Amino acid sequence: MAETHAGVKRPHSAIEEQSGEKRRRVHYLRHVQRMPDNIEPAPQGSVVPARVPDFARDHLLKSLGAALAIAGFDGARPEALEMLREHAEEYMLRFGRYVRTSMQGTRKIKPTAQDFSMALSLMPNASTASLLKPHLDLPIPDSISCPPIPSPEPEDPAAPDLSKLLQPLLPPQQASYIPKHFPALPPRHTWQQTPVYTEREKDSKKMREMMTQEGMMAEQALRKLATAAKTATSETLKAERKKSNALSGPGKVRDGPGAAHRKRGRLDAFADVLKDVSSEETGEDLAMESTETQPGDDIDVGMPEGVVVNYDMNHWRHGKKPLRL
């Protein structure tokens, strides 16, 4: 046997190194209290600050009023009635706590008559049956002792099933390589763009009709634009005439004698030229329209004058002409 020296540690045992793997502990709930289905009560109004439904609160106030009338009171102030209601609520909450304690002590989901009997035995004024017999002979109306409870509202109709309409866009069956605990893929229309193609007219006859209508609309727009331009020009001429008239007279001529008269003459001559040109173009347009349109057509031609197109062609910039040798 090898001797052990002071200050030397004991060698590590090789057997401890071969310890097995630790098992993973999984905790399960052995006793689960399951809630029953369809436990939602009938709709009884909104919730008041005291967290009591309006239906129960109103009937509790009626019961307190009947109790005060039986006791011999003619009326009660709102403060006293509210204080009495709080005491009654506290009494009912304590009674409910006793019922719940008895129910949980026997591990039951719903209370039974035995639980209510236990709760009554714990209340100081209802511990025996002899204390409850006088309450059976009280003249309480049926509307208070057995109030009618309104039936619950009908459930909302189920949403229509639109899966048939989206069947071509729904994803196929989940692939085998996707784990089963993964959520299902969303519908294809939620993440894939669907191309939208505008329907275009292919009938040549309808296309010609649309082109003719659009051309007439463009012509009317040009006529209206030319009318507005001529109206603005005439208003400008009138303003210039008024200005020249205002500046004419003794002591008002700025550019020397006869300047205002010469300017007015130039403006009048320019206005006369515009009138002559517009009258000639109007006559040509009317002649062309009379030959093209039929007597039954109901078309608004806009303005009667003609349209001057490219009137400033002489002022356009032209390219260099080739040199002649």
In the 3-class helix/strand/coil scheme, how is 296-310 assigned residue by residue? CCCCCCCCCCCCCCC
- What is the total count of domains within the chain? 2
Residue 24 lies in a domain: no
Confidence of residue 33 (pLDDT cuts 50, 70, 90): low
What does the pLDDT read at residue 132? 80
Indicate whether 320 belongs to any domain. no
Counting residues of the chain whose pLDDT is more than 70, the rounded percentage is: 64
- Residue ending a domain, among 106, 124, 145, is 145
Q: Is the pLDDT of residue 13 over 90?
A: no
- CATH number of the CATH domain containing 60: 1.10.20.10
77/39: higher pLDDT: 77
Which residue range is the domain that position 114 belongs to?
A: 54-145
What's the confidence (pLDDT) of residue 62? 83
pLDDT category, 43, cuts 50, 70, 90? low
Q: What is the pLDDT of residue 52?
A: 46
Q: What residues contact residue 112 under an 8 Å CB cut-off, 6+ apart?
A: 103
DSSP state of 103: H
Residues 133 and 225 in one domain: no
Is residue 151 within 8 Å of 69, Cβ to Cβ? no
Both tokens of 137, joined, read 């002979």
| Integer Cα distance of 176 and 190 in angstroms | 23
- Residue at which a domain ends, from 116, 145, 174: 145
**5: pLDDT confidence band, cut at 50, 70 and 90?**
low
Which pTM value belongs to this model? 0.33
Domain assignment present for residue 81? The answer is yes
Shared-domain flag, residues 135 and 224: no
Note whether residue 59 is domain-resident: yes
Nearest to residue 285, comparing CAs of 260, 267, 298, 303? Answer: 303
* pLDDT given at position 215: 92
Whole-angstrom Cα distance, residue 40 to residue 298? 72
Which residues lie across from 53 on neighbouring strands?
A: 47
CA torsion sign, 74 to 78 to 79 to 85?
Answer: positive
Q: Is residue 197 part of a domain?
A: no
Count the neighbouring beta carbons within 10 Å of the beta carbon of residue 226: 19
In a domain, 17, yes or no: no
130 and 213 within one domain:
no
Answer yes or no: is 19 within a domain: no
